[in-house]
Chain A
Amino acid sequence: MTATGLPRAREIAEAVTDPELPMLTLADLGVLRGVELTGDGTVVVTLTPTYSGCPAMAEMRADVHRGLTAGGFERVRVRTALDPPWTTDWISPRGRHRLAEHGIAPPGTAPARGGPVPLRLEPPRAQVRCPRCGSPRTEELSRFSATACKALRRCTDCAEPFEHVKEI
């Protein structure tokens, strides 16, 4: 056994990266919700899914499990927490910085929910800055991109297309 104890387990779990956004750790993404050590020495890691159908969820659980096992923890359990639902507001400042560094515009503030959700038919106002040139003049090409969590946009100044993590 290379290491035991809660601090080490937390350190390992926090270092696991997202399979689809590998510049972010699960901790940066806000998907890692807790690391605990039970009386019998089992490490219990709690993850929350970003989207109901996110295909990366199984990979994340497997990566956490594998990381901790390789780190010397023999008993590992990965739990799922559905409540409260994940929101892009949980992406850490470091995570947002890392996204922008890699050409993906980070999300703005998630819409507040409660009661009926308003429907907006006008194109959303551009509040998304181009992660390459910094211009605020960008437009949405598609509300869905390579993954459900991203939208596809284009900068009207530098003309580069880029992805944007949508606010949910």
Chain B
Amino acid sequence: MSFDNAYEALTEQNDARWAFGTGFDDPLAGVDTALPPGVDAAVLSGYCLALADDALIASQRLAEWVTRAPELEDEVALANIALDLLGQARLLLARAGRTGEAVRDEDELAYFRDAHEFRNVRLVEQPHGDFAETVARLLVLSSWRLALFTRLTSSEDPVLAAIAAKGAKELAYHRDYAAQWVVRLGDGTAESHRRMRAGFDEVRPFLAELFAVGDVERAATAQGVGADPAAALDEVTAVLEQVCSAATVDAPPIAPATEVSGRVGEHTAHLAPLLAELQGVARAHPEGTW
């Protein structure tokens, strides 16, 4: 790009200079978003919304590490992982908003829903403890999401299948990053070992929910658009055991659960303050675009 002078680059006419305000506000621009035959719009929308909310909330939490991480490389790594998840959230929100009962854009879904309308699992909304707890949670999250996304590459919805195929490549790097740190800390000093174990203790109460089959998952799986989370249990358990064995910490046991909480809007008290920060600017300037 070139402009005659610096001022010209800042004027309205050259708005396209900026990543924000380019007018390209739809991450699915130009993608064929027609609904495949036999797929119910509300089911697909609800399922994509759940996967989007997991990524959006996890991304916001990870971004809190910026300026707080133990060293610069990890600050950059966590921000990169958060950015990947934000990208997945945008694509999925766009898919959810386009196929639901009323067309809603991704900003409306991200910024103008209250806590009880979010469908994320409670694991991702928990506040961060220390770095060990963060990598314990990231290992669980990325292993679980990678197992789901791998299955979703054969979803009946071609858009969701494409989002999953793209996301799976990213999640594999997230899982590797988390696993390397779990091993380093667990098999490190007495103090890092103690903290790594404590990190898994904090994560444990939120594991069962990941594999529970609620109405959203049941309907989406029945239509061939979703993946059965219960079917991913063995794969995730094997990954956690592999990593924890190398890290000399006990792998967290996952008790099968039947009840969902976050997926039906029942959240812990930690979600509302997170949303207040995430949504503050958009709600203060509801006409703003970016």
Given contacts A55-B19, A144-B80, contact A80 B28 (CB under 8 A): yes
Contacts A117-B168, A168-B169 known; A85 to B147 CB distance under 8 Å? no
Nearest residue in B to A87 (C-beta to C-beta)? B169
Determine which residue in A52, A66, A77, A113 has the highest number of CB atoms from chain B within 10 A of its CB, and name it.
A52
Count the A-B residue pairs with Cβ separation under 8 angstroms: how many? 133
Would A53 and B176 be within 8 Å (CB), given that A58-B22, A121-B243, A148-B80 are in contact?
Answer: no
Interface size class of A (residues with CB under 8 A): 35 or more
Contact of A117 among B17, B24, B146, B246 (CB under 8 A): B146
Cβ contact within 8 Å between B31 and A82: yes
Chain B nearest CB, measured from A45 CB (Å): 9
Binds A, one of B123-131, B157-165, B216-224: B157-165
Q: Which of A105-131 contact B (CB under 8 A)?
A: 113, 115-117, 119-121
CA distance A84 to B162 in the complex (A): 7
Closest chain-B Cβ to A54's Cβ sits at a distance in Å of 7
- Residue on A with the closest CB to B161? A83
Partner pick for B22 among A54, A61, A119, A141, CB 8 A cutoff? A61
Q: Mark B238-254, 1 if CB is under 8 A from A, else 0.
A: 01001100100000000
With a cutoff of 8 Å between Cβ atoms, the chain A residues found around residue B117 in the complex are: none
**Which residues from chain B contact A145 at a C-beta distance below 8 Å?**
76, 80
Contact bitstring B115-141, A, C-beta under 8 A = 1, else 0 = 000000000000000000000000000
User: In whole Å, how far is A61's beta carbon from the nearest beta carbon of chain B?
Assistant: 5
Q: How far is the CB of A161 from chain B (nearest CB, A)?
A: 11
> Which residue of chain B has its CB nearest to the CB of A118?
B172
Closest to A44 in B: B30
Contact B24 A62 (CB under 8 A): yes
B147 surroundings in chain A (CB, below 8 A): 116
Question: Given A80-B27, A121-B243, A144-B177, A49–B80 Cβ distance below 8 Å?
Answer: no
Of chain B, the residue at the smallest CB distance from A149 is B80
Question: Do A143 and B177 touch (CB < 8 A)?
Answer: yes
Interface string of B64-92 (1 = CB under 8 A from A): 00000000011011001101111110110
B150, CB-defined interface residue at 8 Å:
yes
With A78-B30, A82-B162, A83-B158 known to touch, is A66 a contact of B84 (CB < 8 Å)? no
A62-B17 in contact given A80-B30, A85-B169 (Cβ < 8 Å): yes
Contact check: which of A120, A121, A144 meets B81 at CB < 8 Å? A144
Could you tell me the distance in whole angstroms from the C-beta of A96 to the nearest C-beta in chain B?
19
Residue of B nearest to A84 (CB): B165
Residue of A nearest to B149 (CB): A117
The reply to whether B163 and A52 form a contact with Cβ atoms under 8 Å apart is: yes
List CB contacts (< 8 Å) of B238-279 with chain A: 239, 242-243, 246
Given A62-B17, A62-B22, A66-B16, A52-B88 contact (CB < 8 Å): yes
Q: Which of A120, A121, A141 contacts B73 (CB 8 A)?
A: A141
Pair A148/B83 contact, Cβ less than 8 Å: yes
* Contacting residues, chain B, for A77 (C-beta < 8 A): 30
- A111–B141 Cα gap in the complex (Å)? 22
Q: How far is the CB of B260 from chain A (nearest CB, A)?
A: 25
What CA separation (Å) do A142 and B147 show in the bound complex?
24
B235 at the interface (CB under 8 A from A): yes
Q: Indicate if A152 sits at the interface (CB-CB under 8 A).
A: yes
Counting CB contacts under 8 A, is B34 at the interface? Answer: no
A85 to chain B, nearest CB (A): 4
Residues facing A in B137-192 (CB within 8 A) are 146-147, 150, 158-159, 161-163, 165-170, 172-173, 175-177, 179-180, 183
**Residues from 70 to 102 in A contacting B, C-beta threshold 8 Å:** 77-87
Which residues of B line the A interface, CB within 8 A?
1, 16-17, 19, 22, 24, 27-31, 73-74, 76-77, 80-81, 83-88, 90-91, 146-147, 150, 158-159, 161-163, 165-170, 172-173, 175-177, 179-180, 183, 235, 239, 242-243, 246
